[in-house]
Structure 1
Amino acid sequence: MSETDLNQRITLTDEEGGEHEFEVLEMLEVEEQMYAILQPIDAQDEEAVILRLEKDQDGSDLLAYIEDDAEWDRVAEAYDTLLYEEQGGSDEDLQS
């Protein structure tokens, strides 16, 4: 996935074989690891989903759930900071 994939729709399949469509809101790098911020298409009022971008054995991109709470918190905080800065805030405002 690259920056050109932003705002594109992707379909992910869950463990039961159900398909879910998402819009790619953001690709975010945190501590040298890439993450995808996805918004469910059919439920715009739901929170965005954060998934880690990994490579399979063939070198193809795949998305993985984040099982570590500390890792998820770091990525969520980085995304919140990015949104805040896009709305005109600054890092200094967040430190107060």
Structure 2
Amino acid sequence: MENDVTSIVLNDEDGNEVEFEVITKMDIEDKEYLVVVPKDRDEEDTDEAIVLRIDKDEDDNDILVTVEDDDEFEIVSEAYETLFSEDELN
């Protein structure tokens, strides 16, 4: 059975631990991505989603990297919107 992660804890730029809710995991062009939002966000604040790419370090361990490239972010955003708009139609 696969382990379903619903939340993760990451350190922000100041070293503070922040808990994030995992919205979805997607495979795009042989890369894996997570879309996460802060757990303590306001319900109306839906623009705080963060896209993280799952990479490997030198020891072949999974690491999370913030997607900062605009083109890569746009590809993931479009896939996310397509995925969730199809779910709402069904």
Q: Say whether the fold is shared (TM-score over 0.5).
A: yes
TM-superposed deviation, 1:9 = 1.3
Match of 1:28 among 22, 26, 29: 26
For 1:16-95, list aligned pairs within 5 A. Answer: 16-44=14-42, 45-47=45-47, 48-88=49-89
Deviations 1:53-84 (A, max 9, x none): 11111222111011210110000000000000
Q: Which amino acid aligns with 1:9?
A: S
* Alignment partner, residue 4 of structure 2: 4
Q: Secondary structure at the match of 1:12?
A: strand
> How many residues matched?
86
TM-score, length basis structure 1: 0.80
% same residue: 40
Q: 1:39 to 1:3 in 2, by over 3 A?
A: farther
Contact 1:21 1:41 (8 Å CA) reproduced: yes
Q: Which amino acid aligns with 1:30?
A: I
Identify the structure with the greater helix proportion. 1
TM-superposed deviation, 1:13 = 0.5
TM-score, length basis structure 2: 0.85
